[in-house]
Every structure is written in structure tokens, then in C-alpha cells.
Amino acid sequence: MTGVFVGLFFCAPFTHAQNDRFDWDRTLRVDFVLVGNLHYQKAYVSKIRTYNGSNAGSNQMISPFDYGEYRYFLIDPERGDTLFKRGFSTLFEEWRTIDEAKEKERAFQQSIEMPMPLIPVKLVVESRLRNGRFVALFHEEVLPDDLSINRFQPFDFPSQVIHGTNQPHKNFDLLFLAEGYQAGQADLFFSQVEKLTTKLLATEPYKTFKDRITVRAVAAPSKHSGPDDPRADEWRSTILSSSFNTFGVDRYLETEATWKVYDVAAQAPHDHIIVLVNSDKYGGGGIYNHFSVVTAGHRNSGTVLIHELGHGFGGLGDEYFGVDVSYNDFINLEIEPWQPNLTTLVDFDRKWKHMLAPEIPIPTPVRPMYKNTTGVFEGGGYVRKGVFRPAINCRMRTNEAAGFCEVCTDVIKRKIQFHTQ
């Protein structure tokens, strides 16, 4: 009682200071479904959960990165200020651009996470229209004491810290989840995570920040070994239900079991989740602030991981084009795309114009003299014309590139700095 009394008189302006409004050692997770087709989408909340475990710290509340097709906020309804903000993308938004979405309606699972509020808050989730503007998709009042919020008890699968120290609020935390590994294959999984981590941390800009990066691995067991491979008529029972041939593209390896991925991830800190699939076939996928997926045993797995993290963690777009994908009109040529490494030149000032040397022509011709130069090269985002990329080659374009281009490197660097500030 004393605290309340004193608070009313003395500390009113401070009672709702940021540090009082969240339990930094608990996470709030909202599971919802996205339903719709090419023409419309709706979202319905399925379950709200909270669990012991922390991801974002008090310095990482408002993301300055306006990447992704969606974003969400926590708002203090009393004072109206924004307490937390993140952007994200979904497998559903990709599905909406394939032919099937012209005729069918479908539903996809989605999960978003944030620190557990200690005061009533309003969650607002928004999606982008074709013109790039955000509109509200749904909102939800979250009352911390509400008993309908599920007190989720995370699993306790075998786990290891592969690299770094246990400081979830200070470090950038990458979490590998085993997918398609049987109980007896945990050691194989851990050794493959180690190998991929060594490759990742030898790559810029991760190399520069390796002392502020923590890599963990959770060996969740599956009944069968390996993912579904529809073209090979191979079907398995695995913990995270991953599959090749997503949207009819053989190498596109994804899982629609998003809630299960987040269930398994809850036992360890994760600023970004990587689903590591027990296969030596080429494949992967990465969706911004959702998760990344990669096979463990292909000779290019390390390179593919770094590319997919470019999507999943960096919010970067594909810089390639003229390659088999299923998407239609993925990028609206009439506006500036949100992907930080692609431009339509509609509003290039907002992109990497400040990184161009004065003598670089816009657009920049693909000539040997510009081989290692930051420019504006036509072709990217799956189209040959009207979309431009920052370099002739980059990790976001091919596996043969030496590394990320200057623009992509800068984006990932700033993202790591945000998570470690």
C-alpha cells in the first residue's frame, strides 16, 4: 500500500518508466493465423503465451529498421507512447504472389515475440498495402494478469552454447534448432552447427562483431531423419515438419509449422532462429524476423546460411533475377521497395545514394571497371528491368560472390549493433 500511496504523490511521472513496464526475463508471444488470397488478407489471434526467457533488452525496444511487409507495436494505452516495435515478413505474403493465390484461399501460422509487459498494453499489428503504406491488420489488448494468457513451459531438449557468452540482453543471440535429426544424431547436429558457426564468424560483418555474438543449439529429436522431399516422394515425421519444394521450387526449403518452431525455440535466447535441416541436398529459405532455414550437409551450406540470414536477420532482398521462382509482381515498380539493398530509383535518396562515389553513373553499366564498386546495377528482386542492386555481385545474388556488397554489409552491421547496444 505504501508504494502505491507514495507513487501517487511523488513518483507519478516515473511510475511508468520503461524499466517498470516490462519483465525483462519473460517473453510474450502472440500466435495468429494469416488467411486470404491474392486480393485480401485477415488475421486471427489463436493463442497468447508467456514464458521464462528473454530476448530483447531495454535498449532494443524500438527497431529503427522499417523492413518487412508487416510490423507490430506495443502501445501504452494510458500515455499513448510506443513501447516496442519490430518489422517482419511472412511465408504467407510470398504465397500471395504465386498463381495458386489467384484461385485459392489459405491459412498460415505466424508468431511474434516481445518482452512481457507488466502493465496493460495494446498490441497493434499492421500490414503493407501495395502502395507501401501500412494499415492496421488487428489489435489486441494484453492484460498481464489475464489467466487466458498461457504460461508456456518450454521444452528441455539437449542444448549447447556453441560460441560466446550467456548475456541475452547484450549479445546478438543466434539459435540453431535441429530438424530431422533422430535422438542418436545430436552429436552430428552439434558438430554441424559448429562448422557453420566457424564459417559465419569468419565472414564480414559477423567477423568484426564475433565477441558480441552468441550461438546456441537445441537438439530437438525427430522420429525420422531428414525433411520431406516431395519430388523424391520422401515423407518423414520430423519435429518441425520442414519440406523442400515450397511453392513448387525444389530448392526452397521451408516449414509452415511456425508455432512449433517457436515452441522449441523458447528454451533458449534467440534474436534470430535458424532451423538446421539434416540433409546434404542444396536448399534453404529466410524470412525477415520470422526464421531462416538451411540444410546442414551440402558443400555450400555455409554460404547458403549466410545468404538466408541476409533475408531472415538482415531484411535484405534477393539481388538475383532470371532464375526460376514462382512469384508474380513481387516488387511494385512504382514505389521504393522496403528491401534496403534494392531500389526502383523512385526515391533513391532514401537508399544507398550517399554511398556512391561522385563519378559513378546512375544507373551503372555492368563493366569490369565497376567490378568491386558500389553502384546502381539493373536487375534484382527476381526481375531484369526496373529494379536495381548495389553491386555486380554480392552474397545476396550468387554463391560465387566473395561476400556481401558494401550496402548489405552496412545493413547487417547496423542490425548487429542494434541488438548489442
- How many other β-carbons are positioned within 10 Å of the β-carbon of residue 237? 10
Contacts of 294 (CB under 8 A, 6+ apart): 196, 253, 274, 275, 276, 277, 283, 284, 301, 304, 305, 308
β-strand pairing of 159-163 with 41-52: unpaired
Closest to Zn ion by CB, 165 vs 398, is 398
Stretch that binds Zn ion, among 34-42, 249-257, 332-340, 392-400 (CB under 5 A): 392-400
Stretch that binds Zn ion, among 23-31, 157-165, 238-246, 389-397 (CB under 5 A): 389-397
CB of 134 to Zn ion, least distance (A): 25
DSSP for 171-200, please give it: SEEEEEEEES--GGGHHHHHHHHHHHHHHH
The 3-state DSSP class for residue 170 equals: coil
CB of 276 to Zn ion, least distance (A): 24
CB of 281 to Zn ion, least distance (A): 26
CB of 212 to Zn ion, least distance (A): 23
On whether the CB atoms of residues 88 and 68 are closer than 8 A, the answer is: yes
Closest to Zn ion by CB, 54 vs 341, is 341
Stretch that binds Zn ion, among 16-24, 208-216, 333-341, 374-382 (CB under 5 A): 333-341
> Cα separation of 76 and 84, whole Å?
10
Closest to Zn ion by CB, 16 vs 307, is 307
Closest to Zn ion by CB, 238 vs 341, is 341
CB of 40 to Zn ion, least distance (A): 33
Stretch that binds Zn ion, among 105-113, 201-209, 214-222, 336-344 (CB under 5 A): 336-344
Closest to Zn ion by CB, 48 vs 306, is 306
- Regarding 341 and contact with Zn ion (CB under 5 A), the answer is yes
Stretch that binds Zn ion, among 73-81, 215-223, 357-365, 390-398 (CB under 5 A): 390-398
On whether the CB atoms of residues 181 and 219 are closer than 8 A, the answer is: yes
Per-residue binder mask for Zn ion (CB under 5 A), 393-412, x = binder: -x-x--------x--x----
> Cα separation of 45 and 416, whole Å?
30
Size, binding site for Zn ion by CB under 5 A: 5
Stretch that binds Zn ion, among 44-52, 128-136, 248-256, 338-346 (CB under 5 A): 338-346
118-141 burial, b at 16+ Cβ within 10 Å, e below that, comes to ebebbbbbbbbeeeeebeebbeee
Closest to Zn ion by CB, 121 vs 316, is 316
Question: What cell does 374 get?
Answer: 558500389
| Coarse DSSP helix, strand, coil percentages of the chain, rounded to the nearest 5 percent | 20, 30, 45
- Pick from 238, 111, 237, 236: which is nearest to 178 by CA? 238
CB of 234 to Zn ion, least distance (A): 34
CB of 210 to Zn ion, least distance (A): 21
CB of 65 to Zn ion, least distance (A): 16
CB of 377 to Zn ion, least distance (A): 10
> Cα separation of 82 and 123, whole Å?
10
> Cα separation of 157 and 383, whole Å?
43
- Regarding 265 and contact with Zn ion (CB under 5 A), the answer is no
Query: What 3 state SS string does 119-155 have?
Result: CCEEEEEEEECCCCCEEEEEEEEECCCCCCCEECCCC
- Regarding 387 and contact with Zn ion (CB under 5 A), the answer is no
Closest to Zn ion by CB, 249 vs 394, is 394
Residue ranges that bind Zn ion, judged by CB under 5 A:
341, 394, 396, 405, 408
